[in-house]
């Protein structure tokens, strides 16, 4: 009887440890996808994590931080975030300064929204005030996909690409290309094939360094990383604070 009880307790403990390990490993689920044209992508699915935008480099040694990538562009003259209008309730600038940034990401609590900005217009002041009062964040970036349609023009340079994507199930993911040779238009077409309903570009090129946590290991993202020291803002997926 004692032996049976000990075996049962041991099995329960092993099951609990396994469940905890599985939960930790799944906080950022990595999925490899390949398009019909043969373009390969890494799709990072955050599992129950909070999203925030920060202007202080996130600590990779802090196990609460599970995924970190560059967000808004960085101003080449000032090394400050470009068109990060409101950050965690603090208004950084009252209107847009770069008119080709036609998408807006709003983060208020657990709510994320991607909207399209009319050509050569800024976000209304009333919306900035709403986000400020709710201690939220609002940044502008290039829109790739909106309502299931590629909205980016042809042409442009080729780079490795990365985007914040809203999928058909309304869940968000970070999608990064394996290839270094994609235009924005090609990237948008591939995102549609991968199931994107909306997609907002994330800063790349020399600002491409990011990382994610795979168990106890921190895995770096990006290839160039030449301007890592100048990175000014990050999109971070982190564990939620424990409830008291």
For residue range 86-135, list pLDDT tens digits in order: 999 999 999 999 989 999 999 999 899 999 998 888 999 999 999 999 99
Whether residue 134 is contained in a domain is answered as yes
Q: What is the number of domains present in the chain? A: 1
Per-residue pLDDT of the chain (244 residues; tens, 9 = 90+): 444 344 333 343 334 334 344 444 579 999 999 999 999 999 999 999 999 999 999 999 999 999 999 999 999 999 999 999 999 999 999 999 998 999 999 999 989 999 999 888 899 999 999 999 999 999 999 999 999 999 999 988 999 999 999 998 889 999 999 999 999 999 999 999 999 999 999 999 999 999 999 999 999 999 999 999 999 999 999 999 875 4
Whether residue 198 is contained in a domain is answered as yes
- Rounded to whole angstroms, the Cα distance separating 59 from 22 reads 23
> Can you give the residue range of the structural domain that contains 35?
27-238
Whether 83 contacts 101, CB under 8 Å: yes
Count of positions (residues) in the chain: 244
**pTM listed for this prediction:** 0.88
Give the H/E segment covering residue 193. helix 184-193
Whether residue 20 is contained in a domain is answered as no
Whether residue 10 is contained in a domain is answered as no
185: Cα separation from own chain's centroid: 19
Whether residue 203 is contained in a domain is answered as yes
- Rounded to whole angstroms, the Cα distance separating 103 from 198 reads 10
Whether residue 8 is contained in a domain is answered as no
Whether residue 127 is contained in a domain is answered as yes
Paired tokens of 90:
């603090």
Whether residue 200 is contained in a domain is answered as yes
């Amino acid at each position: 009887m004692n032996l049976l009880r000990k075996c049962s307790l041991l099995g329960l403990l092993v099951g609990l440890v396994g469940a905890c390990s599985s939960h930790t490993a799944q906080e950022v689920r990595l999925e490899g996808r390949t398009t019909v044209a043969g373009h390969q992508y890494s799709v990072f699915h955050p599992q129950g994590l909070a999203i925030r935008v920060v202007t202080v480099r996130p600590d990779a040694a802090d196990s609460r931080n599970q995924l970190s990538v560059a967000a808004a562009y960085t101003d080449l003259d000032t090394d400050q975030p470009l068109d990060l209008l409101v950050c965690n309730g603090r208004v950084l600038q009252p209107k847009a300064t770069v008119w080709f940034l036609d998408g807006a990401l709003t983060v208020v609590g657990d709510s994320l929204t991607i909207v399209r900005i009319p050509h050569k217009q800024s976000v209304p002041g009333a919306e900035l005030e709403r986000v400020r009062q709710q201690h939220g964040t609002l940044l502008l970036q290039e829109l790739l996909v909106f309502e299931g349609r590629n909205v980016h023009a042809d042409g442009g340079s080729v780079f490795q690409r990365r985007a914040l994507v809203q999928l058909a199930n309304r869940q968000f993911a970070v999608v990064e290309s394996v290839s270094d040779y994609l235009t924005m238009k090609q990237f948008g077409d591939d995102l549609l094939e991968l199931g994107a309903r909306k997609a907002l570009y994330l800063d790349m090129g020399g600002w491409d360094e990011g990382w994610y946590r795979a168990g106890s290991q921190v895995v770096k993202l990006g290839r160039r990383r030449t301007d890592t020291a100048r990175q000014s803002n990050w999109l971070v997926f982190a564990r939620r604070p424990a409830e008291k």
